[in-house]
A and B are shown apart, each in its own frame.
Chain A
Amino acid sequence: MRGNSLLALNAGESGTVFGIVGNQLAAKRLADMGFVRGARLEMVRPGAPCIVRIDGACVGLGAGHQASIALS
């Protein structure tokens, strides 16, 4: 299932982070905020931007970030 990004999750679906892809400036920030391999995510509201729940907190993420979070 490698290669799925956060963009593929529907409302209520969960996924596990595989890693950060792409070479954008904020890549390290995403990792630092907890989007690391193994982190469980739940899509609360899909779209651009979307809302995902990570470790009990809700984070709003723009499309650029969603594309760079790969799920396993």
Chain B
Amino acid sequence: MTGYRDTRLANHAATTDGTLASPMSTTPSPDVLNPPKTVALVGNPNTGKTTLFNALTGFRQRVGNYPGITVERKTGAIRHELGETQLQAIDLPGAYSLNAQSADEAVVLEVLSGHDPSSPTPDLLVSVVDATNLARNLFFTSQLLELGMPAVVALNMVDAAEAKGLTIDAEALALALGVPVVPVVASKGIGVDSLKKAVIDALAAPVTAQCPSFPACVCSELDGLCESVGHADGECPTAGAPSERAALLQTLLDPGGHHEEQLIKRCGVRLADELAQRRQRIADSGESIVEVEAKIRYAWIERVVGDVVKRVRPPRKPRTEKVDSVLTHPIYGFVALIVVMTVCFQAVYTWAGPLMEAIDGVFSQVGAWLTAVLPAGPIQSLIVNGAVAGVGAVLVFLPQILILFLFIAILEDCGYMARAAFLLDRTMSKLGLNGKSFIPLLSSFACAVPGILAARTIEDRRSRFVTIMIAPLMSCSARLPVYTLLIAAFIPAKPLLGGFIGLQAAVMLGLYALGAIVAVVVALILQRTVLQGAAPPFLLELPSYNLPTPATVLYRVYEQGREFCISAGTVIFGVSIVVWALGYYPHPTSIAADHEAQRIAARQSAPSPEFLDMRLTEIDRSEAGNYLRHSLLGRMGRWIEPVVEPLGWDWRIGTAAIASFPAREVVIATMGTIYNLGDDQDENSIGIRAKLHSASWPDGRPIFNTAVALSIMVFFALCCQCGATLATIKRETNSWRWPLFTFAYMTALAYVGALVTYQVASRLI
């Protein structure tokens, strides 16, 4: 449970997301007199908080149909035309109760209690409840109402409730709760204006909410606890506030939980004895410590809901259940999971092909045209070999990235992810993980950074850390270009299994499987060594299936595509230029003079024009190769050559691999640049595939063959070449130990893996 403190650090990062609306900072004077009121969106997971946040602010934060999409807090200005009051909304992760069980729930607590120094203390709470599941959602709402802040209930998903045959009398509910209740359909923007109005009214004239009353023994022990804590830290500004009292109720009723840990840290172990005595007295009076709160609240909720929810139609067997009878089946479910994954990879591989060729063609044309119009020299080389070859080599992979994210977004938005987590829990718990590790690990197939953040939903610190350590082994989308390029060039396109899958797609699937299998082994080892302990039981709500919303899916795909293009245009572009410069300079004139002399000699002694052509081409290539060998890059490369030679690599591959340690996506660009520089034979085509095929050792043997390609791919599959991932691990684990460990173990694995692959494959093939 020590994972919670880590989240405070992460929250600082969340404020830098630029979502604090800038219009307010351009007019600073009213701000000082009239600071914006902060509205926090709170509620159970998957109730539509982020959808509502987006509707209120016009932002496009990520939404999806599984519990735990949002794990950080985000702030944005609410747009409205209802007077002068400026409003800002905070979107929070979902929580079931004020007793935080996981790092994402702890984020909610920190913000609500005002203990998060980087976030404004909320002035009002919007409790977002799912109308299809009102009673269970009202548990958290009733806790929130006791915090003593103005509150409004947003009754979301009334459309889904109607479809289920439920009607909810919002006015009666408001009367029973004592706070305004606004029915909304956040996904369609219905009721959002009424909600804004209710918020402004509630800020102006707060009302007192109705709350359940607790048995006398609990109340008196709580009073006593409040008093001793008040004495213990009298100077604490929140002492005695309703929110403090609510926190102490959780402390009292959740032995060994988050609140107890915090309190003992604050007030000393002396309180531990006192807590134990107070709990004993409650137990002696016949109440169960862990159940009394649920008992009281659910009894109260039953009275509230009784008159409010009407069933207009008997429930029929919902669609969700019919689908689930297959998708969560222990056998058919796994078959379906495997089919889904296979179709996804096959699509990434085959659909993207024609698009990729088109993009490649465009860049080749541009390169050829630039070569023709620009005078030969460093500028031409910089633009053609550095910029166009580097960026072009990467942008070719845009179609694949888009298709991969299309699949992920659809699976996420339809509700399948929670089922996959359910299916895999049994396997995962054998590895010291949890079914919930599935979602972070699956997100890591797109990118490890959001994957590691998503691990916050895992309650148990140990499983959370194991998940974080192995997340970078999942083949992220930045590895995809390396795989695609080398597979297309060196793996023959043969059909397998009667055409169900091609050999190329099978190799790709194999690389993804390699990361996953190695992750399993690493998890097993971690579980037996540094992160020991029993796996905690699985607990996850399975949302109803939904048809994916095209807007949500397409926006996710668009966002990812944009990010990829930006990274190709900045980081990759920059690295391409640096690599070009290192590979071009010093460019000594003695090499030119030497080869010019060879050309003259060839012209004089050539027996036929064809022979002369051949000889001249040879001299051109040797000249380009000589330049590269004498360049700074070439010298560095020769230094590392002995290290990478056992992997079957020449110094150019080694250099590209090393240049991509900060961010692996630069490798293709780097190879594109290096091989283009070293090969003047065919300036008009920058197609990197052709370049790789023609690359050769000094003795003329081709460098690339199937064994080398496999060895490179295995290296990239296993290596942690990503500074952003390591920085995120540092942030989430709050220590340098874990990122250093991750880096060390993955680098060692990658080297050994590539070595074994090459040595075995070169003997077999």
A, B: real partners: yes
A residues within 8 A CB of B329? Answer: 45
Total count of chain B residues near the partner, CB < 8 A: 43
Q: Is the CB of B321 within 8 A of A44?
A: yes
Q: If the complex has contacts A19-B288, A26-B459, A36-B298, are A59 and B293 also in contact, measured as CB distance less than 8 A? A: no
Residues from 63 to 77 in B contacting A, C-beta threshold 8 Å: none
Q: Which residue of A lies closest to B164 (CB)?
A: A56
Closest Cβ of chain A: how far from B482's Cβ, in Å?
A: 36
Residues from 42 to 72 in A contacting B, C-beta threshold 8 Å: 44-45, 47-49, 51, 54-66
Does B324 sit at the interface, judged by CB under 8 A? yes
Q: Is the CB of B291 within 8 A of A31?
A: yes
Q: Is the CB of B539 within 8 A of A45?
A: no
Closest Cβ of chain A: how far from B84's Cβ, in Å?
A: 40
Does A2 sit at the interface, judged by CB under 8 A? no
Q: If the complex has contacts A37-B295, A51-B324, A57-B541, are A32 and B97 also in contact, measured as CB distance less than 8 A? A: yes
Select the residue from B136, B290, B329, B418 with max chain A CB neighbours within 10 A.
Answer: B290
Does A25 sit at the interface, judged by CB under 8 A? yes
B residues within 8 A CB of A54? Answer: 136
Does B617 sit at the interface, judged by CB under 8 A? no
Closest Cβ of chain A: how far from B27's Cβ, in Å?
A: 44
B residues within 8 A CB of A65? Answer: 537-539
Does B650 sit at the interface, judged by CB under 8 A? no
Q: Is the CB of B541 within 8 A of A31?
A: no
Binds A, one of B144-152, B249-257, B635-643, B658-666: B249-257
A34 to B132, CA, bound (A): 15
Q: Is the CB of B291 within 8 A of A19?
A: yes
Per a CB cutoff under 8 Å, which of B132, B139, B253, B537 touches A63? Answer: B537
Does A39 sit at the interface, judged by CB under 8 A? yes
Closest Cβ of chain A: how far from B70's Cβ, in Å?
A: 19
B residues within 8 A CB of A25? Answer: 256-257, 536
Per a CB cutoff under 8 Å, which of B132, B290, B294, B538 touches A60? Answer: B538
Q: Is the CB of A60 within 8 A of B133?
A: no
Q: If the complex has contacts A44-B321, A60-B538, are A33 and B426 also in contact, measured as CB distance less than 8 A? A: no
Q: Is the CB of B97 within 8 A of A61?
A: no
B residues within 8 A CB of A44? Answer: 321, 324
Does B443 sit at the interface, judged by CB under 8 A? no
Does B744 sit at the interface, judged by CB under 8 A? no
Interface bits A7-25 vs B (CB < 8 Å: 1, else 0) = 0000000000001100001
Q: If the complex has contacts A36-B291, A39-B298, A44-B321, are A29 and B539 also in contact, measured as CB distance less than 8 A? A: yes
Q: If the complex has contacts A29-B101, A55-B133, A60-B422, are A49 and B293 also in contact, measured as CB distance less than 8 A? A: no
Q: Which residue of B lies closest to A48 (CB)?
A: B426
Q: Which residue of A lies closest to B256 (CB)?
A: A25
Residues from 97 to 140 in B contacting A, C-beta threshold 8 Å: 97, 99, 101, 132-133, 135-136, 139
Does B542 sit at the interface, judged by CB under 8 A? yes
Q: Which residue of A lies closest to B315 (CB)?
A: A56
Q: Is the CB of A51 within 8 A of B328?
A: yes
A35 to B136, CA, bound (A): 10
Q: Is the CB of A28 within 8 A of B139?
A: no
Q: Is the CB of A62 within 8 A of B328?
A: no
Q: Is the CB of A60 within 8 A of B253?
A: no
Select the residue from A33, A39, A47 with max chain B CB neighbours within 10 A.
Answer: A33
Residues from 307 to 335 in B contacting A, C-beta threshold 8 Å: 315, 320-321, 324, 328-330
Q: Which residue of B lies closest to A61 (CB)?
A: B539
A64 to B534, CA, bound (A): 11
Closest Cβ of chain B: how far from A70's Cβ, in Å?
A: 11
Closest Cβ of chain A: how far from B274's Cβ, in Å?
A: 19
Does B96 sit at the interface, judged by CB under 8 A? yes
Q: If the complex has contacts A29-B99, A49-B435, are A62 and B290 also in contact, measured as CB distance less than 8 A? A: no
Does B732 sit at the interface, judged by CB under 8 A? no
A residues within 8 A CB of B290? Answer: 20, 27-28, 31
Select the residue from B132, B257, B315, B538 with max chain A CB neighbours within 10 A.
Answer: B538
A36 to B299, CA, bound (A): 10
Q: If the complex has contacts A33-B136, A51-B542, are A62 and B425 also in contact, measured as CB distance less than 8 A? A: yes
B residues within 8 A CB of A26? Answer: 101, 459, 536-537, 539
Q: Which residue of A lies closest to B143 (CB)?
A: A32
A5 to B353, CA, bound (A): 55
B interface list, Cβ under 8 A from A: 96-97, 99, 101, 132-133, 135-136, 139, 164, 253-254, 256-257, 288, 290-291, 293-295, 298, 315, 320-321, 324, 328-330, 418, 421-422, 425-426, 429, 435, 459, 536-542
Query: 12 additional contacts, CB 8 Å, given A29-B99, A34-B136?
Result: A19-B291, A26-B537, A28-B257, A28-B291, A32-B99, A38-B298, A44-B324, A51-B542, A59-B539, A59-B540, A60-B422, A61-B539
Q: 10 interchain pairs (CB within 8 A)?
A: A19-B288, A28-B253, A28-B254, A34-B294, A54-B136, A55-B135, A56-B132, A57-B132, A62-B425, A62-B539
4 smallest CB-CB distances across A and B, nearest first, come from A64-B537, A62-B537, A62-B538, A31-B294
